[in-house]
Structure 1
Amino acid sequence: MKFVARLAVFGLCLVATAAQARPVYEVKASFDAAHKLSADVTITLPPGDMAKEIEFVLSNRFVLKPVRVAGPARVAIGKTARPMRGLTSIRVIPRGTPAQAVVVRLIYAGPIDSAGSDFFSPGLIELSLEAGWIPFRSDLTLDYAIDARIAGIPAGMDVVSQGKVSREKDGMVAIHRGYADVDLPIIAVPGLKHEDKDGLDFAAANPSDPLVALMKMHAAGAARFYADLLGPATYAPIRMTIVPREASGGYARAGFVVMPDFRKPGAPTPDYDESSPARFVAHEIFHAWRPGFSSDYANYWMSEAYAEFYGLRYVESRLGLAERQKMLDRKRPALATAGPLITPGKRPGNAAMYQKGAVMLFDLEQDIGRPALDTLLTGPDAPRTTAGLLKAMNAVAGAARTAAFEHALTH
């Protein structure tokens, strides 16, 4: 009887949300003292998103209960190593052409941490796609709005995420993000200090540290640079958080940037030069400032190559042409072995995205001029697909130069 009643409630949810225009997640999650995650996630998919099969993935650290589906679809469960190893595949397969929303409910539990990855620790909680803690589409092309309620994040930790973040009286963290993105990044760090200025909400536990202060300065500088070049950020203010970890990976989502402080907790400030953190910060802020590039295989290169190109442009604006040229020259040797930026069914390698792509854009700038290239890449009608870019490039650079650029993309 309880099972029937639950299905009835599930069906009411379907009726209530069938008319929505974009996918919506509802997440109820909790972490226990042993860092075990228990989650109940409901995903509502509008008819327009169910024209074809959708594959969601979730870390296989979690034990998944039988998946419930309401609406014209069925589910198939399996294993996959794409886009990373150790994933459970949850394929949502439409029945015919859906005319109403499909609602998928997933209940699962398991350890949040994995061998070699510490996502939940006393000094830092860092939840994103890499943790595989909530289902995401395997090709990273599903943008969704989200409401999340999360228990078990210690009261002494300051929580940063997208959208509206609040602590309720019972300690529950509530997050409402009305706009869409492919991920819900959540950062929690004790003692974060915030400064909200000029469209940038900068947070760090150690803001007076020389390297952190330098990143803050260049974050503000990059925000002004992009405001002048691109206009207001799509989602403001940009939230940038410096997290206490040595691993050098930074990342960005819509209106949201995470950067490390490049040291083990308690270690002194590492050696650094100014140009590297300046470029790194400007690269990530470009992503946050101008989200919305397609994540499919034919177009993914655009997001990273553009961010690297404009990150170097920022270095030029702040530290001079000679410093930018020095950084660009260090990228050129990689061109011989970087490989293609577009390969069917496969993402480009790092050397292609971060080295080759930027060099190709600077070389194109030499041929057609900076104003023309800025219009192509970031103007009001700038294309967001490779096909659109090549078509627009042909009108500006000519057929021969466009053909050479296209050849470099695929070889």
Structure 2
Amino acid sequence: MKILFVLPLAIGALTLVSGCNDNDNNSNAPEVTPAETSQPLIQLGPRPYFLVNDMDDGELKNALQACESLPPASSNFSIAHRGAPLQLPEHTRESYVAAAKMGAGIIECDVAFTKDRQLVCRHAQNDLHTTTNIVAVPELNAKCTKPFVPANPGAGTKAEAECRTSDITLAEFKSLRGKMDAFDENATTPEEYLGGTANWRTDLYATEGTLLSHRESIELIKELGLKFTPELKTPVVDMPFEGDYTQEDYARQMINEYIAAGVKPEDVWPQSFLLDDVVFWVNQMPEFGRQAVFLDEKSNDPDNVSMAYMESLTQKGVPILAPAIWKMLTLNSHQEIVPSEYALNAKAAGLDLIGWSLERSGPLAEGGGWYYQTINDAINNDGDIYKVIDVLAQDVGVIGIFSDWPATTTHYANCMGL
């Protein structure tokens, strides 16, 4: 069943179901326009409400509880990180559709290339051994950079494999089945190696995992009436690949597939961890470069949080900076979560911010793990995820948040007018 959603309101300049004040600082946020195609009926499921009920008592909890009766709607503030990989195999048709049904307004395809230089959706060029069933397909396992090697308990060695998209053709890639991103290091058979899913995830929905080329992801997301944030994955092979396929060829090819599909530049947020890719789009493909996203994984050394660093990015034309959540947050003297120096300097330099990634560290009851490392001491229950979202949205002023389970962010976006 499909229903046409008209998305009339905004958070900052981002689409919401209720309440808005235009935020001129979010210059790279999407314009508010009616959906041009039908979208799935939005169904947030029980998780957002479970998390709200787990929150500490206070105004934020009361506000989110009061919004539970609102009809949910898609929001560009809610960005699907690889689809919905908390419970469904990442970068698969099923995972993207699930994310759309949870109200993600923007869906991510991480882009890698195959041996025949076709673009596909994979988080890394060399993750096929953990995200697909390739090691259990003998003829394709044999083509892997490092075919499956079983564990040897007697010798104390662990199971190993490395399979790259560039090891196989697009047709061979399409013959594989997506699975939850995991492996069993103690496996003695290929079938055992496919296990290892974390106990806070599930294999319940991993019986189907339809892999997608980048072009197919574009068509699917268009059909869903949503927007795009492709990430050009850093190659693990030497570039130029096979001597003549350069990094610029790769970066240009990704954008050209949107042009060929008739996608408007304002509906695309191209990303890369390589600053040179972002600068290339800004200078060589400026219509798409206006919303280019630099994914920042630098450490929080003083030089990497300074105003000089932020201004160096704006001088290169970078419009949007996307760090891990922890880089934008810190604790004040009262152990309250507040914007970090990094976030304050980025905003002062004129950079828009996007955060990654919620719902990726497992339960937050024990401090939240790597993604919350600067604020672990202020986190003691799963409901604290909404405290984190609230500070990112209201105090840091991010224009969107990646999540492995977009319903959580969608509920906040639907509820809170800025």
The TM-score bracket by the shorter chain reads under 0.3
Structure with more strand by fraction: 1
TM-score by length of 1: 0.23
Q: Which protein has the larger Cα radius of gyration, Structure 1 or Structure 2?
A: 1
Where relative contact order (Cα < 8 A, 6+ residues apart) is larger, the structure is: 2
Name the TM-score, length of structure 2 as normaliser.
Answer: 0.23
